[in-house]
């Protein structure tokens, strides 16, 4: 039986990120997320302002750092469609650089518009300890709708297969970021 979460602030949802034993893996496929705690910072990014203290990301970096001290690992693969959306540029510049520094293994699969990585779904999920699957459901505009936690073997095995495929196809964020400034300024050619 699945557990459904209707809010990102649900205590049961948030406990998942502390209660796992070894690994928390995330597949991100959207090019824009409408997350309330990011709205102010996203607006500042779009306005060309300097990055200030970003509480949502600072809290996540603290979670990653604390988990690392306990031997836990956070992994993430994001499929990025180039040219990048404003939100993804924001996420790369103001989020990933800081979460990687905190110990999160962020990886990127860059794709050109109209292409999608073979063998990967267009869905978002978390996989905890390779045994608990948290499917993340979003509206077309990137607004969070719900999350479904399941341990159903067939679904968990499939998510593990997707994870392995995504990692195989991805590059480390630091490698992607090496060309990121040109990408931000639109000086990179898209294939």
Tell me what pLDDT residue 185 has. Answer: 46
Instruction: Domain 3-185: give its CATH code.
Output: 3.30.870.10
The strand pairing partners of 133, in sequence order, are 127, 150
- Top-confidence residue, 84 or 182: 84
- What's the whole-model pTM score? 0.92
- In this predicted structure, the answer to whether residue 191 has a pLDDT above a threshold of 70 is no
**172 beta partners:** 107
Condensed to tens digits (0 to 9), the pLDDT of residues 109-150 reads 999 978 999 999 999 999 999 999 999 999 999 999 999 999
Report phi then psi at 149, rounded to 5: -95, 125
Query: Which two three-digit tokens encode residue 131?
Result: 């045994």
% of the chain residues with pLDDT over 70: 94
Asked if pLDDT for residue 37 goes beyond 80, the answer is: no
pLDDT at 7: 94
The yes-or-no verdict on residue 72 having pLDDT over 70 is yes
Residue 183's SS3 state is helix
């Amino acid at each position: 039986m699945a557990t459904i979460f209707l809010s990102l602030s649900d205590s049961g949802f948030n406990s998942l990120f502390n209660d796992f034993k070894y690994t928390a893996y995330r597949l991100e496929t959207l090019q824009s997320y409408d997350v309330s705690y990011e709205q102010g910072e996203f607006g500042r990014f779009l306005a060309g302002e300097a990055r200030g203290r970003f509480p949502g990301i600072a809290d996540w970096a603290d979670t990653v750092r604390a988990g690392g001290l306990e031997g836990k690992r956070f992994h993430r693969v994001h499929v990025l469609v180039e040219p990048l959306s404003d939100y993804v540029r924001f996420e790369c510049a103001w989020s990933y650089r800081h979460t990687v520094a905190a110990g999160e293994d962020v990886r990127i699969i860059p794709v050109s518009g109209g292409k999608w990585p073979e063998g990967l779904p267009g869905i978002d999920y978390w996989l905890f300890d390779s045994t608990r699957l948290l499917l993340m459901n979003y509206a077309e505009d990137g607004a969070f709708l719900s999350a479904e936690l399941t341990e159903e073997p067939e679904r968990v095995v499939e998510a593990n297969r997707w994870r392995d495929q995504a990692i195989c196809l991805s590059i480390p964020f630091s490698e992607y970021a090496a060309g990121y400034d040109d990408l931000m300024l639109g000086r990179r050619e898209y294939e």
